[in-house]
């Protein structure tokens, strides 16, 4: 990973309240996309947009279960960013 570029992208991504809310909601475990948008009170298409951005940055993982897409946090990547952020600050 290009740490400097990705750290900036990471901070920009999680600064958006809906994306941070998605990461927080998934802290308790994986959820179906159909559970995420009602919880955030967002239209389905806007929720999908935020999920795609988080997935593109590899903060989320997804898997298909029949017709449903199940999302979970990518804890390894999140820990990487937290570690890089700590290195930059200290």
| Helix (H), strand (E) at residue 64 | strand 60-65
* Buried residues in 69-80 as b, exposed as e (16+ CB within 10 A): bbbebbeebbeb
User: Which residues are registered as beta bridge partners of 62?
Assistant: 71
Percent of the chain with pLDDT over 90: 80
In this prediction, residue 7 has a pLDDT band, given cuts at 50, 70 and 90, of: confident
pLDDT, greater one: 21 or 8: 21
Q: What is the DSSP letter of 69?
A: E
User: Model pTM?
Assistant: 0.88
pLDDT at 2 over 80: no
pLDDT at 90 over 80: no
The token pair at 60 is 């989320």
pLDDT tens string 30-70: 999 999 999 999 999 999 999 999 999 999 999 999 999 99
**Ramachandran angles phi, psi of 32, nearest 5°:** -75, 145
Under CATH, what is the fold of the domain 3-89?
Arc Repressor Mutant, subunit A (1.10.10)
Cα 21 versus chain centre, distance: 9
pLDDT at 72 over 90: yes
Whether the CB-CB separation of 50 and 18 falls below 8 Å is answered with yes
């Amino acid at each position: 990973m290009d740490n400097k570029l990705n750290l900036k992208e990471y901070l920009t991504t999680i600064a958006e309240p809906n994306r941070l809310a998605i990461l927080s909601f998934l802290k308790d475990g994986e959820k179906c996309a159909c559970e995420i948008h009602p919880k955030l009170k967002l239209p389905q298409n806007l929720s999908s947009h935020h999920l795609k951005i988080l997935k593109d940055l590899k903060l989320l993982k997804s898997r298909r279960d029949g017709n449903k897409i199940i999302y979970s946090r990518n804890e390894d990547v999140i820990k990487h960013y937290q570690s890089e952020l700590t290195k930059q600050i200290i």
